Amino acid sequence: MKYTVQVKVMPLKELLDPQGKAVMGGLSNLGLKAIEDVRIGKNITLQVEAPSVDEARQVAEEASKKLLANPVMEYFEVSVAE
């Protein structure tokens, strides 16, 4: 069966996010003062062929650990939809 897996990769909360800070400056210049913080990460959509949800999740977690996320600077969250 084919599963759609979303992997969210975000900068660790302890670290500065210069890209987010730059975007926040831009939003402020556009007059959107209600936005108080911006953090920018990646969203990765995987199509996984697997016999079950659990195995699809396992494949996505392995991919995240090995390639998609850099654990020194980022954390990831995996969510599976059928």
Nearer to a second copy, 14 or 37 (CB): 37
Nearest approach, Cβ of 14 to a second copy (angstroms)?
Answer: 15
Burial of 60 (0-12, 13-18, 19+ CB in 10 A): buried
Burial of 64 (0-12, 13-18, 19+ CB in 10 A): buried
Nearer to a second copy, 6 or 72 (CB): 6
Interface with a second copy (CB under 8 A) = 2, 8-10, 20, 23, 26-27, 30, 32, 34-50, 56, 59-60, 62-63, 66-68
